[in-house]
């Protein structure tokens, strides 16, 4: 699951490189920051890739991470698998848990909007 968020961050690098030939690469970050899912994905990717986050997190939360993987497998019955992303939004007293698969879907939709906004997708 962490690899998904790291790949999302790689898409950011690619988009900035593509925009660099014709415009301002910073427009990619500006568009990304309009989407909560991409802000959280960015913070998770930076921590997954580098182990720490030296710059201010885009979510303003220092604890963004994928924290758990739980699997339940029952022979001959339903099975489930769950990944949870967690972070503490600014002003919140407690961490918020988000289903990481749902977050991943939101990241894909947000990326589509970003790529259209910066002119890299129709």
Give per-residue pLDDT as tens, 46-73.
Answer: 887 877 767 777 777 666 655 544 444 4
Entry pTM: 0.78
Kindly tell me if the per-residue pLDDT of 80 is higher than 70: no
Q: pLDDT higher for 112 or 59?
A: 112
Alpha carbon distance 104, 120 (integer Å): 21
Percent of the chain with pLDDT over 70: 80
Predicted local distance difference test score (pLDDT) of residue 109:
97
Task: Please name the helix (run of DSSP H) or strand (run of DSSP E) that holds residue 41, with its range, or none.
Answer: helix 36-50
């Amino acid at each position: 699951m962490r690899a998904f968020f790291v790949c999302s961050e790689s898409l950011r690098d690619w988009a900035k490189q593509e925009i660099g030939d014709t415009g301002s690469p910073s427009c990619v970050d500006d568009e990304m920051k309009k989407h909560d899912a991409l802000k959280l994905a960015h913070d998770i990717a930076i921590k997954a890739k580098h182990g720490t986050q030296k710059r201010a997190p885009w979510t303003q939360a220092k604890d963004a991470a994928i924290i758990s993987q739980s699997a339940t497998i029952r022979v001959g019955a339903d099975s489930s698998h769950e990944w949870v992303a967690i972070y503490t939004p600014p002003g919140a007293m407690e961490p918020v848990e988000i289903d990481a698969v749902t977050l991943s879907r939101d990241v894909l939709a947000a990326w589509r909007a970003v790529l259209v906004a910066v002119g890299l997708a129709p």
